[in-house]
Amino acid sequence: MSTRRAGTALALAALAASACGSSASGPTGPGGPGTDSTASLTATPVVRGLSNPLYLTAPAGDDRLFVVEKGGTVRVVEGGRLLAAPFLDLSSVVSAGGERGLLSLAFHPDYATNGTFYVDFTDASGDTRVVAYRVSASDPDRADPASGDTILSVAQPYANHNGGLLAFGPDGMLYVGLGDGGSGGDPDGNGQDTGTLLGTILRLDVDGGSPYAIPSDNPFAGGSGGRGEIWAYGLRNPWRYAFDAPSGLLYIADVGQGDWEEVDVVPADSGGVNFGWNVVEGDHCYGASSCDRTGLEPPVLEYGHDQGCSITGGMVYRGDAMPELDGTYFYSDYCSGWLRSFRYRAGSVTDERSWSVGDLGRVLSFGRDAAGELYVLSADGSVYRLEPGS
């Protein structure tokens, strides 16, 4: 159903009949990377005073920054100044308690001409909604609130594990991250059930149909074996994932249950990958001393809850300001607030680093501007840009 890296295929073959657990061919960890004294970074404040900034993005070729606030507003930062009026205010329709809220925004690849963007939020009933909007015809700093068109609704059985990230892939398709439905331990078994949209990343063709078309190369597009929208499954809560077009890879930071946080890396064009939840948590059997790992994709990196509590996935750096960090994936942890990175080369994690950038607080998310520079978003209401250290 899916293509695999050669190294991953060999690892899975070796583990197919074995008990679950870390091995020599498993992911890196658990001690955490060291600090590289030959390189330095600075986290420079760009804006403060936001309310739970959960995501940052920008349309191609646009110097502005668009910041999603959990309570239901999208704010614009232009020339280092936070505009007073929101780009979009959905606070009247967004349920924003706990892990709910306005969770992300994705601009259509042709936003410069069609003015269309998409948001993911939990509605008043706590269910996931993906809605398309258009920019105002008279003001580029304001959206048209009357243009909303719901393209997807997914019932959420519990209040947590909503996922929530929207992203257009290099293929022009819209990807939607959804958690396993919540509670704890996946009580409804959604992670391994391809008959539900929960515990997955979806792939939708928003230009090919109304409200969308199912791409013909989706793994279950034929209607057999699972929902046609599914691209990948076996995920607990893929809060943040990121495409890296130059390498053709997809990085997924899947939030763990009680013991292990993980990063998965697979070819972006590899559909039908099963990341294993809730058979495994990280590279370890979940709730059992042994388990059948046949066909499950292991993480490339994991860390235990002695180092944090909830991974905050980031992005691969491809900007111009720090060419020495080209191809470096950054990530953090909500509880610990550290900043770490690695490179993924030839099927292996390399160049693991911890960065001394000062206190970032509780890191909620990362973002990237149109120039490829990276940002860190903190629960203290600040947005930081990663820059070369002095």
Does position 16 have pLDDT exceeding 90, yes or no? no
Contact assessment for residue 291 and residue 15, using Cβ atoms and an 8 Å cutoff: no
What burial letters (b/e) apply to 242-252, b meaning 16+ CB within 10 Å? bbbeebebbbb
**pLDDT score at 197:** 98
Name, in order, each residue with C-beta under 8 angstroms of 242's C-beta and a sequence gap of 6 or more: 167, 250, 251, 313, 314, 315, 316, 329
Q: Is the pLDDT of residue 8 over 80?
A: no
pLDDT recorded at residue 39: 73
Residues 206-212: what's their mean pLDDT? 97
Task: Examine the pLDDT at 17 and tell me if it is beyond 50.
Answer: no
Please compute the mean of the pLDDT values over residues 279-287 and round it to a whole number.
97
What global pTM score does this model have? 0.91
Average pLDDT of the residues in 112-132: 98
Confidence at 223, pLDDT banded by 50, 70, 90: confident
In this predicted structure, the answer to whether residue 23 has a pLDDT above a threshold of 60 is no
What residue has token string 């066909």? Answer: 295
C-alpha span between 325 and 319 (Å, rounded): 9
Q: For all residues of the chain together, what is the average pLDDT?
A: 92
Least confident of 53-57, 334-338, 386-390: 386-390
pLDDT of residue 376: 98
Please check the confidence at residue 28 and state whether its pLDDT lies above 60: yes
User: Where does residue 213 rank: exposed (0-12), middle (13-18), buried (19+ CB within 10 A)?
Assistant: middle
Can you list the domains of the chain with their CATH numbers? Answer: 6-41+58-361 (2.120.10.30)
| Between residues 22 and 263, the one the model is more confident about | 263
Percent of the chain with pLDDT over 70: 91
Tokens of 206: 């928003």
Structure tokens at 353: 């680093």
Q: Cα torsion at 329, 335, 337, 342 (round to 10°)?
A: -20
